[in-house]
Chains A and B, each alone.
Chain A
Amino acid sequence: MPAAVQSVNPSSVSIRHPFASRQGQVVALALLVLLLVLIAAPLIFLLRASLTPPGELPFFVDTYSLENYVSVLTSPDLLDLILNTLKYALGSVIFGVTLASGIAWLVERTDIPFQTTIRILMYSWMAVPTIVLAFGWILLANPGSGIVNLLLREFFNVTGSPISIYSLPAMTLVTGLALVPTAFAMIAGLLRNMDPQLESAGAVHGATTFSVFQSVTFPLLIPGLFSVGILLVMAMVQAFDFPLVLGLTAKVHVLSTRIYLLAHSDISRPDYSLPATFGIFFLVLAVALMFAYFRTVRMGERFRVVTGKAFRPRRFSLNGWRYPAATVVGLYFALMLLPLLILLWTSFQPFYQAPSIHALTQLTLANFVSVFEESQILRAISNTVILVMCSATLVMVLSVMIAWYAVRSKGRIGKYLELLAFAPMAIPPVVLAIAVLLIYLRTPLYGTIWLIVLAHVSVYIAFGTRTMHAALLQLHQELENAALVCGANWFVMLRRIVFPLLRPQILNGWLWVAAHSARDITFPLFLITATNVVVASELWVLWETPEIPTASALSMVLVLGLLVLVVPVQILASRSMAREAH
Chain B
Amino acid sequence: MLTLEGLHKTYPPTDPSQGAGKTAPALRGVSITVEKGEFYTLLGPSGCGKTTMLQCIAGLETPDSGDITMCGEVVFSSARNIFVPASKRRLGMVFQSYAIWPHMTVFENVAFPLRQGGKGLSKQVLGDRVMAALDRVKLRDFANRPAPYLSGGQQQRVALARALVGEPRVILLDEPLSNLDAKLRDEMRVELRDLVKSLGITTIYVTHDQVEALSMSDRIALMKDGKVIQEGTPADLYMRPKTAFASEFVGRSNLIPGKVVNGSADSDYGTVAVQFGDIRCRLPDGVAVGESVNVMVRPHGIDVNGQADEINRFAGRVRGTSFVGEFLDICVDLKGCSLRVYASPYDAITTGQEVALSFPPDRCVVLLPDEAAISGEGGRYSQSLEQPSHRSD
Contacts and interface: CB of A to CB of B under 8 A. Distances in A.
26 contacts: A1-B79, A4-B65, A5-B64, A8-B64, A8-B78, A11-B12, A14-B12, A19-B59, A478-B96, A481-B60, A482-B93, A484-B59, A484-B85, A484-B87, A485-B60, A485-B91, A485-B172, A486-B162, A487-B87, A487-B88, A487-B90, A488-B112, A488-B116, A489-B85, A496-B112, A501-B101
| Most-contacted residue by chain B among A1, A7, A21 (CB, 10 A) | A21
Interface residues of B, number: 39
Contacts of B61: 18
| Most-contacted residue by chain B among A21, A481, A489, A501 (CB, 10 A) | A481
Contacts of B62: 8-9, 16, 18
A33 interface: no
B220 interface: no
Contacts of A478: 95-99
Contacts of B85: 18-19, 21, 484, 489
Interface of B: 12, 14, 58-62, 64-65, 78-81, 83, 85-93, 95-99, 101-103, 112-113, 116-117, 159, 162, 166, 172
B18 to A, nearest CB: 14
A497 B103 CA distance: 8
B166 A8 contact: no
Interface string A134-156: 00000000000000000000000
Given A18-B83, A19-B60, A501-B101, A483 B12 contact: no
A8 B59 CA distance: 13
Given A18-B62, A485-B93, A476 B83 contact: no
A226 to B, nearest CB: 25
Given A5-B65, A476-B99, A484 B79 contact: no
Contacts of B96: 478
Contacts of A488: 87, 112, 116
| Most-contacted residue by chain A among B80, B99, B101, B166 (CB, 10 A) | B99
Interface of A: 1, 4-5, 7-9, 11, 14, 16-19, 21, 410, 476, 478-479, 481-489, 492, 496-497, 500-501, 503
Contacts of A486: 87, 112-113, 116, 162, 166
Contacts of B98: 478
A487 B113 contact: yes
A7 B99 contact: no
B79 A4 contact: yes
Nearest to B110: A486
Contacts of B81: 4, 7-8
Contact of A482 (B78, B88, B101, B103): B101
Given A1-B65, A487-B90, A487-B116, A410 B12 contact: yes
A50 B90 CA distance: 59
Contacts of A7: 81
Contacts of B78: 1, 4-5, 8
B103 A500 contact: yes
Which secondary structure dominates where chain A touches chain B? helix
A372 B209 CA distance: 73
A482 B79 contact: no
Nearest to A22: B85
Given A484-B87, A486-B162, A497-B101, 12 more contacts: A4-B80, A7-B81, A18-B62, A478-B98, A482-B162, A483-B112, A484-B59, A485-B58, A486-B87, A486-B112, A487-B113, A488-B112
A406 to B, nearest CB: 14
| Most-contacted residue by chain B among A16, A484, A500 (CB, 10 A) | A484
B12 A16 contact: yes
A476 B97 contact: yes
A19 B87 contact: yes
B64 A485 contact: no
Which secondary structure dominates where chain B touches chain A? loop
A481 B95 contact: yes
A11 B12 CA distance: 10
Nearest to A499: B103
Contacts of B103: 500-501, 503
Given A18-B62, A486-B162, A487-B166, A8 B97 contact: no
Nearest to A8: B78
B87 A485 contact: yes
Contacts of A476: 97, 99
Which 5 A-B residue pairings sit nearest by Cβ, starting from the closest?
Answer: A487-B116, A482-B99, A478-B99, A486-B113, A478-B95
B53 to A, nearest CB: 15
Contacts of B87: 19, 484-489
A284 to B, nearest CB: 26
A484 B86 contact: yes
A192 B254 CA distance: 54
A42 B103 CA distance: 41
Contacts of B79: 1, 4
A479 B90 contact: no
Contacts of B88: 487
A9 B99 contact: no
Contacts of B162: 482, 486
A291 B113 CA distance: 48
Contact of B99 (A4, A5, A479): A479
Contacts of B80: 4
A494 to B, nearest CB: 13
B64 to A, nearest CB: 6
A18 to B, nearest CB: 4
Contacts of A500: 103
Nearest to B92: A485
Nearest to B112: A486
A1 B78 CA distance: 8
A307 to B, nearest CB: 21
A478 B163 CA distance: 14
B112 A21 contact: no
A472 to B, nearest CB: 15
B249 to A, nearest CB: 26
B89 to A, nearest CB: 8
Contacts of A479: 99, 101
Contacts of B117: 487
Nearest to B79: A4
A16 B60 CA distance: 10
Nearest to B102: A501
A17 B61 CA distance: 7
Nearest to B103: A500
Nearest to A480: B99
B109 to A, nearest CB: 9
B147 to A, nearest CB: 11
Contact of A8 (B58, B83, B86): B83
A489 B115 CA distance: 12
A98 B133 CA distance: 61
A156 B57 CA distance: 85
Contacts of A1: 65, 78-79
A492 B61 CA distance: 19
A9 B77 CA distance: 11
Contacts of A5: 64-65, 78
B116 A492 contact: yes
A473 B83 CA distance: 28
A484 B14 CA distance: 24
A280 to B, nearest CB: 30
A484 B162 CA distance: 13
A18 B112 contact: no
B172 to A, nearest CB: 8
B174 to A, nearest CB: 8
A285 B103 CA distance: 46
A347 B137 CA distance: 67
Nearest to A410: B12
Nearest to A21: B85
Contact of B86 (A4, A9, A19, A501): A19
B156 to A, nearest CB: 13
A7 B77 CA distance: 11
A500 B105 CA distance: 13
| Most-contacted residue by chain B among A410, A487, A496, A503 (CB, 10 A) | A487
Contacts of A487: 87-88, 90, 113, 116-117, 166
